[in-house]
Each structure stands twice: as C-alpha cells, then as structure tokens.
C-alpha cells in the first residue's frame, strides 16, 4: 500500500531538495527522454522558471505526438450533496446548514436525457459527497445502471471505497474513478479534514491501491493546490503515480491541477499559485 511507500519520503527534505535545484539540473532534465521524479522536481523548481517557453514547446510537442489535436470533454452530474465530512475549504461541509439533495433514480434518468439533448457528450462524471447511507455503493450501482445506456464512458468522483465495492461498480459499467488526495502532507492533513472518513489519511491515500486491485480502467489524481507547498505536494504525487503505474500497469492515469485562488469571504488558501507557476506545472 502506498501509505507504506510514502513513509520513505520526508516532507521537509523533499521541499529542500526542490529548492536546491539549479539551472544545471533543469537543463539536464530538459535533455532527457525518460525523466526521473528528481528530474520532475527540477522542472517544477524556481530554478526552472526562466525555461518556461522551452518547457511549453516541449510539452506542446509531446501533446501533439501522443494525442494530436484532440480535446476530450466531460460533463459532471452532481447526484448528491449529502456529506458526513467537514473539509474546511468546501461548501458541502457537513456543518453548513444548506438543503441536502440526493437525486432519485427517476431524476438521474431525467438528467441523463437532458444532457444527451445538449449535445454529443459521451463522458459523464458522476459526483457526490460522502454519506454512505444515502450515496454509498448500493446507490451508486443503481445510478450507473440508469446512466449506462446514455453514455460510453462513466466516471465517478465520490468517497473512497473498499476494493470489492470498486469491483462491483466496474461490473456495472464503471470506467474511471477520480479522487484527489488534496495533500500528501500527512502531518497537516487533519487540519483540513477534521471529521468523517476523509479525516483518515491512510484510508484515502490507499484508496488508489484499492482501485488498481479492483481493475478500475482509469484513475484521475490530483492535489488541491493552495493547501500546502504545491511543489512538494506535486513531487509526492509524482512518486505516487510512479508507484501506481508500476503496480497497476493495466490502469491508465490522468493528473488534474485544481487550484484555489483567494476569494472575498471564502476560504483563503495558505499558498497562492500564480498563472505562470500553473503553466510551469
């Protein structure tokens, strides 16, 4: 399980390593065909900032070689905002006194029909809070069965589950799972996720192993940029991705970069990432 692997890496040491990268490390990484995680750390370090244009051109070249001029669109369907967790940055936080809605299966069907009327969307992302009694695996299995005739590709972004629950959903037509670790800083994780199942760091970080073991075809990963030093978090994410690709090599992976920005009256990120830094990543 990745929680064991993660113990090999010290957060502060990783931060210092990234900050100590120099132009020579960056140039060496830019010359390579196959990069190590250490090379990746050089490319996201402050030392790589002057190389943004060169990295953008390389990135464009790789994108064209691998994907061509393709853009894949997905459409989210929020099926439930009921949640037992209290993530401090989220409006669906259990402590917020807002109306909670979990769609009935007839409502899910009506939403699927409405989405199909909008255009040729084939990738549906089913999103829900974490309230096992209301939107747990039994409910999600029924939702997948309702949505399956309308879409080629069904992905969920819901609570982490047991291996057998993922396997059950794969049987019901699930293609992918998106889950954000939010941060790999285990020491501070609980200050952002004080209650509920999401407060258990190992349960969340090992969810990706459980997805791999269940044969989930595609896994989407990410950290929530704004919580902790984003460079260190992304280095940990890169290590996690390397680990998963080695152990669950049949699965395909994608990485997302959700970024919190300062907002009046809302949750204030501890770390602000600029547009240039986002482009660098």
Residues in contact with ligand SF4 by the rule CB under 6 A? 83, 85, 87, 90, 92-93, 129-130, 198
Beta bridge partners of 254: 220
| Cβ nearer to ligand SF4, comparing 179 with 216 | 179
| Cβ nearer to ligand SF4, comparing 73 with 98 | 98
Per-residue HEC secondary structure of the chain comes to CHHHHHCCCCHHHHHHHHHCCCHHHHHHHHHCCCCCHHHHHHHCCHHHHHHHHHHHHHHHHHHHHHHCCCCCCCEEEEEECCCCCCCCCCCCCCCCCCCCCECCHHHHHHHHHHHHHHCCCCEEEEEECCCHHHHCHHHHHHHHHHHHHHCCEEEEECCCCCHHHHHHHHHCCCCEEECCCECCCHHHHHHHCCCCHHHCHHHHHCHHHHHHHCCCCEEEEEECECCCCHHHHHHHHHHHHHHHHHHCCCCEEEEECCECCCCCCCCCCCCCCCHHHHHHC
| Cβ nearer to ligand SF4, comparing 48 with 126 | 126
Q: How near is the Cβ of 58 to ligand SF4 at its closest, in Å?
A: 34
Q: How near is the Cβ of 147 to ligand SF4 at its closest, in Å?
A: 20
| Cβ nearer to ligand SF4, comparing 89 with 243 | 89
| Cβ-contact 77, 126 below 8 angstroms | yes
| Cβ nearer to ligand SF4, comparing 130 with 209 | 130
Q: How near is the Cβ of 35 to ligand SF4 at its closest, in Å?
A: 32
| Cβ nearer to ligand SF4, comparing 45 with 155 | 155
Q: How near is the Cβ of 181 to ligand SF4 at its closest, in Å?
A: 12
Q: How near is the Cβ of 129 to ligand SF4 at its closest, in Å?
A: 4
Q: How near is the Cβ of 243 to ligand SF4 at its closest, in Å?
A: 24
């Amino acid at each position: 399980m990745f929680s064991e692997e993660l113990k090999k890496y010290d957060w502060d040491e990783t931060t210092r390593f990234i900050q100590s990268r120099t132009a020579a490390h960056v140039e060496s990484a830019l010359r390579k065909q196959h990069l190590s995680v250490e090379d990746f750390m050089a490319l996201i370090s402050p030392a790589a900032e002057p190389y943004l244009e060169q990295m953008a051109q390389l990135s464009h070249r790789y994108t064209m070689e691998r994907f061509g001029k393709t853009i894949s669109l997905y459409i989210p369907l929020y099926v439930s905002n009921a949640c037992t967790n209290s993530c401090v940055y989220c409006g669906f936080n259990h402590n917020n006194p807002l109306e909670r809605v979990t769609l009935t299966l007839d409502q899910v069907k009506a939403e699927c029909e409405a989405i199909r009327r909008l255009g040729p969307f084939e990738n549906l992302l089913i999103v829900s809070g974490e309230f096992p009694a209301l939107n747990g695996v039994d409910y999600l299995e029924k939702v997948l069965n309702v949505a399956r005739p309308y879409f080629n590709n069904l992905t969920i972004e819901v609570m982490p589950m047991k291996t057998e629950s993922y396997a059950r959903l794969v049987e019901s037509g699930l293609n992918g799972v998106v889950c954000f670790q939010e941060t790999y800083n285990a020491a501070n994780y609980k200050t952002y996720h004080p209650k509920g199942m999401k407060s258990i760091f190992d349960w969340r970080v090992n969810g990706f192993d459980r997805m791999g073991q269940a044969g989930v075809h595609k896994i989407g990963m990410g950290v929530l940029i704004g919580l902790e030093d984003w460079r260190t978090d992304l280095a940990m994410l890169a290590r996690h991705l390397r680990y998963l690709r080695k152990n669950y090599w049949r699965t395909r992976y994608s990485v997302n970069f959700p970024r919190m920005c300062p907002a009046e009256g809302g949750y204030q990120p501890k770390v602000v990432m600029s547009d240039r830094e986002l482009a660098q990543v």
